[in-house]
Chains A and B, each alone.
Chain A
Amino acid sequence: MTPDRDPARIIAGGQPLLASAPGAGGHIATNLLAFTRLLRRSGLPLGPGEALSALAALNAIEIGDRRQVHAALRAVMVHRREHFELFDQAFQLFWRDPEAAAHAAAMAALDGNKAPAEKPPPASRRLAEAMQGEKPKPRPPEPEPPRQDMSFTVSDREKLQKLDFEAMSAAEIAAAKQEIRKLSLPFDEKPTRRFRTHPSGRIVDLRATLRQSLRLGGDILKLEHKQRQEKPPPLVVLCDISGSMARYAQILLHFLHAVTNERDRVHSFLFGTRLTNVTRQLRHRDPEFAFEMVSHIVPDWSGGTRIGESLGLFNKLWARRVLGQGAVVLLITDGLDREGAAGLAEATDRLRQSCTRLIWLNPLLRFSGFQPKSQGIRAMLPHVDDFRPVHNLESLRALIQTLSDPRTGQSRRMMVA
């Protein structure tokens, strides 16, 4: 962070703002700053803009009303629903416990932005009193001693099994990205409702024509044309990471990482016994860093599979949020379901109805003449649009070639017959 972007300096220099909150400004600003840092450390994407907005917001409300303060800070500092819980926890802890402010200030100081000596003394007791307003009442009992570990993870889900990952070399990653650029799913280019100027377009672009004509003194010599832009639809990847899929995990994760970074509008989910959205984690350019973050939030590596339940959960929580705009769903699973395919057919059918195209990629069904015996496979097959067995999933290239193959895989009618 460059010095002039440091919220501390901006707020310290923001005298006009502070002056409008007489008597409280200095401490509030200091505490807000510590609070901002605390939130940033716990993972909220906050910049100096949010810190300044927060200060302005506190000036606009009755600062004695705790609920108003909470609502106001949340409105300016949080931009998405998923972060509410984290914010609420941090708010409860920070604005109640005077020690927590000191810890946070110390932790922020450790970040190296400022020397500890420059830190003003913790003043959140006074802030807390100021927030109580005219009617001071005894402070509520301390909820629990604040942990020195300020990570504030929302949930303490145990990591059932941590991912042990062998990274690809830089050259392999570069090659993988090259391959991903060649990836084209069936019916991949879809016309959008947006136009761009194009010589062989069929619609006259009047705005461009006029602009062109003015360059020639007003004579229209040539009509400019436009045509619809084409672009690939959003892609949603649902990837099975249960025990039976463990041997493909590495290649699949690299695939997910490359496709999330190379293509526009990709959402990635992992499921075994639970469903985890890993899109944000995989957006990190560095694959090893991304996998490290993924392995921290995914609780169910190489466990059992509850495909039906996971798909049901996806339908309920995510389908409406990520399947808009004609999304294509890529479902990567071997179809071996621990629950005996309970609810699997219904969930798959609902999923197919919510997206434009449901493509199932199965690394298990690689033998010709294979008869699907597993209940899970029999339940899912009638409900997918496209079915692609993968003969050899040892390399990313094989996976991408299979996906880009314009021929559909084995007809599902043959498979279920």
Chain B
Amino acid sequence: MSLPGSVAETQALLASGGYVADKALATTIHLALTMGRPLFLEGEPGTGKTEIAKVLAAKLPRRLVRLQCYDGLDISSAAYEWNHARQLMAIRLAEASGEADRAALERGIYDRKFLQPRPLLDALEGSPAVLLIDELDRADEPFEAFLLEILADFQITIPELGTVKAATPPVVIITSNRTREVHDAVRRRCLYHWVGYPDAAREHAILKLRAPGLPEALSAQVVAFVQKLRDGDYFKLPGVAETIDWAQALAALDAKALEQGVVDETLGVLLKYQDDIAKLKGEEAARLIAEAQAG
């Protein structure tokens, strides 16, 4: 399947994969696909950044190559690693068979067959891929430098072997929860989009897709409640993922409408800090329920 031809088609493609994108996001994704540029998605946790890569991979369709970032992630876990055991064996074999030509040995040792691809190299070789570099902010700064070459030219230079360039450039999606500022050098090579909390209409549409079978009235109240909650002063506001979880939790408890008791009991699905829960429980929750029910 070829790339979508317009912003509307991109939006439809995402919708067919169960992802409700607003126009700005659809435009940015469309541009990333058309211009062949990496896409840098930043936003609060639980706003559906990773999901975009999954949906694109499913619908384009391409295989999804995922690199989960963590502190200390280095080139041998991210891009490639030489298989030292096999290399040593090759040297022993060469010695045993009496080959002593140093140049030939060196060529033989740094052969492609001794190279173990990790996600970055894997995404360049083989069939076209969607490369998801997830939560880049979790990696430390030195790791970002490894990415610059692949982001700019879709290639990796291996000192002992040479440059590996992608036959079909992968669709690259980088996500960040902004627990650290990602360096400008990475940003400049990407298209940037801030994934915010959705408005009520979009959140309602998302809930319909992700929590089917939820009573319409309850779904509307859940969305109204969460939207009002996000205006409040909390340490960690609930994302869309929390809204979906909460709706499913309420459905599992057979709730037909928001009520004080069931809301208080399930707040842990929505808020993840004790201070926030203590603040919302009781009166404040009752106020928000009343407002949500009023419409």
Residues of chain A at the chain B interface (Cβ within 8 Å): 45, 49, 53, 56-57, 60-62, 65, 67-68, 70-72, 74-76, 78-81, 84, 192-195, 206-207, 210-211, 213-214, 217-218, 220, 265, 315-316, 320-322, 324-325
Contact yes or no, A60 B88, CB < 8 A:
no
Give A45 to B184 CA distance when docked, in angstroms. 10
Q: Which of A56, A60, A74, A207 has the most CB of B within 10 A?
A: A60
Contact yes or no, A324 B137, CB < 8 A:
yes
User: A240 to chain B: closest CB distance in Å?
Assistant: 23
6 residue pairs from A and B, CB less than 8 Å apart: A53-B35, A75-B32, A192-B71, A194-B140, A218-B94, A325-B71
Query: What range describes how many residues of B lie at the interface?
Result: 35 or more
Contact yes or no, B140 A67, CB < 8 A:
no
B91 at the interface (CB under 8 A from A): yes
Residues of chain B at the chain A interface (Cβ within 8 Å): 6-7, 23-25, 27-28, 30-32, 34-35, 37, 40, 42, 71-72, 74, 82, 84, 87-88, 91, 94-95, 100, 102, 105-106, 109, 137-138, 140-142, 160, 177-181, 184, 187-188, 190-194, 233, 235
- Known interface pairs A62-B6, A320-B179; A71-B24 also in contact (CB < 8 Å): yes
Q: Which of A49, A68, A320 contacts B27 (CB 8 A)?
A: A68
Give A61 to B32 CA distance when docked, in angstroms. 11
Give A268 to B184 CA distance when docked, in angstroms. 18
- Known interface pairs A194-B74, A320-B178; A79-B31 also in contact (CB < 8 Å): no
Contact yes or no, B95 A194, CB < 8 A:
no
- Which chain A positions have C-beta within 8 A of B32? 75
Contact yes or no, B179 A75, CB < 8 A:
no
A70: nearest chain-B partner, CB-CB:
B24
Q: How many A-B residue pairs have CB under 8 A?
A: 116
- Mostly, the A contact residues are helix
- Which chain B positions have C-beta within 8 A of A49? 188
- Known interface pairs A60-B34, A207-B84, A320-B179; A194-B102 also in contact (CB < 8 Å): no
Give A57 to B37 CA distance when docked, in angstroms. 11
Contact yes or no, A72 B27, CB < 8 A:
yes
Contact yes or no, A57 B31, CB < 8 A:
yes
- Which chain B positions have C-beta within 8 A of A322? 180-181
Q: Which of B24, B40, B142, B188 contacts A194 (CB 8 A)?
A: B142
